[in-house]
Amino acid sequence: MNQLKSALLGGSRYRASAGFDEETPLLATSSSSMPVLTSDAQRPSSSNLIQCTAAARYSRIACSEIGPKHRHKRKRSKRRRRNSMSDLRTLRKTSHSLPNVDEETRDAVSDKLTHRRSIHWPIIASPFMPFGTQTSCEPTERQSTNSPSTPLARRYGTAPEKPTIGEQDSNNEDESEEESSFSSSGSSSETRTGGFSSLSKREWATIVMLAFANLCSTIAFGCIAPFYPGEAQLKGLNSSQIGIVFGAFELVMFICAPLLGRYMAFFGSKRMFVAGLIITGITAMAFGGMNLMPPGMPFFFTSLALRCVEAVGDAAFVTSSFAISAKAFPGRIATIVGIMETFAGLGYMLGPVVGGVLYEYGGFQLPFFVLGGVLILAGTVSCYLVEEYIDEPGEDTKGMMGMLKIPHIWIMVYAVVICAISLSFLDPTLSPHLASFNLSPSMIGLLFLLCGGVYTVTAPFWGLLIDRYRCTNFLMLFGAVATVISMFLIGPTPLLGMTKDLFWIGVGLALLGLAAGALYIPTFQNCLDAVRAKGYEDNFQTYGCVSGVFQSAFAFGGFIGPTLGGMGVEWIGFAWTTTLIAAVNVVFILILIAFFAAICIRQRCAKELLETKIPLNC
């Protein structure tokens, strides 16, 4: 006790020399172990601060002689660091035991010591420490304990202040209320990657409508193949005009899909989906009355106009369906795309069959009236089954033009175009190529069914594989290599000296269906990942732009494949045309390998540079 009294007397002597009266408290009791800063209006001068610091140091020396538990055992290498650290620690430890000075002086001394420590020993957080335990290097103002209700804005790397018990309870109640309201909202935008058993009934209804819409639209698209050319020839159209009617569909989709995707957030994804189905159904039913048109140019231009309007409706609901799948099932995008492609492939296979059967029973009008009515009914039901999403347009600072500047997007576009060319090239050319085998029309149809059937069966498998293992790049590489092999077998290519054999042509068609799914399905997921990496937001504006570019690329390939493929067969023959398509796929393989190899090298160099700049002992 005598030592403590002498320490206090020493503190009072320093206090008197600093210019404070005897009634002024030296240290005030505070509930917080950390001193706080006050206004600078009435702080003492620097000389008084130095003297008050000496008083705190004298009190520390006296208190350290009372018992060994108060001694500082940590070794310090530099004297100035030791003095500043010990002064600040003593000031905090003796805040409850010494007589009180005014609070402003106590805060000024703490600020002075903290400033000295920050000068001689800057606190630098190691990058290997957790963010929650790092301390900011920036000089920040501390809040007064008298106003705990106004939280201090946290900065990057700062440790959060521990709230009081009352604040913790209120925060826990708020968090529980937010979690309960979020879980009860039934929104489908939650990222989930579990099994399909976790889906709600509304989500199942959305999947069913997306699949059914793709099935009906592709059936309506392909149903005219068996009977429209004959009817058009009876109306006075030649082969080139019939080809224009068929090719205009893909050309209009190529033009409209990016525009519809760009403005999807303004129209609304659900409204665009429903309107696209209804427009496609109405134009399909109107196409059924084409046999009542006069022959010649009126028949040609009316067919072309209805086909273009049908393409706009098809582009609207197909583009919106991809955007809805990305919004509703963010953790299962590839799986949902695989399901939609399964039903789309099934529709391409069943379209000519359904169209031919309905044409035999009811003439030219029945196929269009039946399929158009089904599409209108599907659009009406979608108003109630498909979930409504908030399509708030974000700040379009980059837009679709900024998206097209991403190299990864162009590689995916290239993949989609060559996939569409490889599939659509065979539509007008495979049947003449098989004429030397004297096959019946049913056998030729089965060979077409072989390619589409393998694609339909394997498409959901690729989607599940991508969502589970994230092997998009490997699958695309496999799809491109398999496409090259299939084209060599279907031709067969003159480079290998093979002879035309029906068995190997069938194997090549089956392999092409397998390769098309592996090459096409990962591209949409890769496009979304590429734009997210460039800072695009996860909203319908981004999904619409990606889906528009995606559908436009496939439509472009679907237009180029039959057009240039037919010209190539006429000029250089079927075998060399398939070899040329295989060469285009070989170029894609080389580009894909070079691009991802450059990415890996860049990431490795960046990692090595980071390790050399940041020492491990910081």
What was the pLDDT predicted at 481? 95
- Three-class DSSP category at 520: helix
Please report, to the nearest 10 degrees, the dihedral formed by the alpha carbons of residues 547, 555, 335, 523 taken in order: -70
- What does the alpha-carbon distance between residue 187 and residue 199 come to, in Å, rounded to a whole number? 11
- What does the alpha-carbon distance between residue 288 and residue 310 come to, in Å, rounded to a whole number? 13
What was the pLDDT predicted at 108? 59
End-to-end CA distance of the chain: 44
Cross-strand pairs, 26 = 100
Apex CA 260: angle with CA 259 and CA 261, to 5°? 90
- Three-class DSSP category at 280: helix
What was the pLDDT predicted at 471? 85
- Three-class DSSP category at 100: strand
Half-sphere exposure of 491 (CA within 13 A, CB side): 28
pLDDT digits (tens, 9 = 90+) for 209-242: 988 988 988 888 888 877 888 888 888 888 778 8
What was the pLDDT predicted at 84? 56
Instruction: Single out the residue of 48, 51, 120, 58 nearest to residue 84, CA to CA.
Output: 120
**Ranges of the chain with pLDDT below 70:** 1-197, 390-398, 613-618
- DSSP letter assigned to residue 293: S
Q: What is each CA distance from 123 to 136, 174, 246, in whole angstroms? A: 8, 35, 72
- Computed on alpha carbons and rounded to an integer, the radius of gyration of the chain in Å comes to 37
Q: Which domains does the chain have, with CATH numbers?
A: 2-122 (no CATH), 202-391 (1.20.1250.20), 412-618 (1.20.1250.20)
Q: Which residues contact 406 (CB under 8 A, 6 or more apart)?
A: 530, 531, 534
26 φ, ψ (degrees, to nearest 5): -80, -45
- What does the alpha-carbon distance between residue 174 and residue 153 come to, in Å, rounded to a whole number? 19
Q: Which residues contact 574 (CB under 8 A, 6 or more apart)?
A: 429, 432, 433, 491
Q: Which residues contact 425 (CB under 8 A, 6 or more apart)?
A: 561, 562, 565, 577, 581
- What does the alpha-carbon distance between residue 206 and residue 183 come to, in Å, rounded to a whole number? 19
What was the pLDDT predicted at 410? 92
The answer to whether the CB of 155 falls within 8 A of the CB of 135 is: no
The answer to whether the CB of 98 falls within 8 A of the CB of 8 is: yes
- What does the alpha-carbon distance between residue 226 and residue 326 come to, in Å, rounded to a whole number? 36
Residues 167-197 as b/e (b if ≥16 CB within 10 A, e otherwise) read: eeeeeeeeeeeeeeeeeeeeebeeeeeeeee
Q: What is the 3-state secondary structure (H, E, C) of 312-371?
A: HHHHHHHHHHHHHHHHHCCCCHHHHHHHHHHHHHHHHHHHHHHHHHHHHHHCCHHHHHHH
The answer to whether the CB of 317 falls within 8 A of the CB of 280 is: yes
Instruction: Single out the residue of 279, 384, 265, 273 nearest to residue 319, CA to CA.
Output: 273
Q: Which residues contact 52 (CB under 8 A, 6 or more apart)?
A: 14, 15, 18, 26, 44, 101, 105, 108, 109
Q: Which amino acid is at 84?
A: S
Half-sphere exposure of 354 (CA within 13 A, CB side): 21
**Other Cβ atoms closer than 10 A to 126:** 12
Half-sphere exposure of 180 (CA within 13 A, CB side): 6
Q: Which residue has the tokens 């989930």?
A: 192
Q: Taken in order 357, 361, 364, 366, is the CA torsion positive or negative?
A: negative
585 φ, ψ (degrees, to nearest 5): -70, -35
What was the pLDDT predicted at 274? 92
What was the pLDDT predicted at 165? 45
289 φ, ψ (degrees, to nearest 5): -95, 15
pLDDT digits (tens, 9 = 90+) for 121-166: 444 433 333 333 343 444 444 444 444 444 444 333 333 444 444 4
Residue 402: is it exposed, middle or buried by C-beta count within 10 angstroms (0-12/13-18/19+)? middle
The answer to whether the CB of 487 falls within 8 A of the CB of 581 is: yes
Q: What is the 3-state secondary structure (H, E, C) of 545-559?
A: HHHHHHHHHHHHHHH
The answer to whether the CB of 357 falls within 8 A of the CB of 228 is: no
Residue 543: is it exposed, middle or buried by C-beta count within 10 angstroms (0-12/13-18/19+)? buried
Can you point out the beta strands (E) in 369-482?
none
- What does the alpha-carbon distance between residue 262 and residue 259 come to, in Å, rounded to a whole number? 5
One DSSP character per residue, 131-185 reads GGG----S--PPPPTT-TTSPPPP-TTPPPPPPPHHHHHHHHHHHHHHHHHHHHS
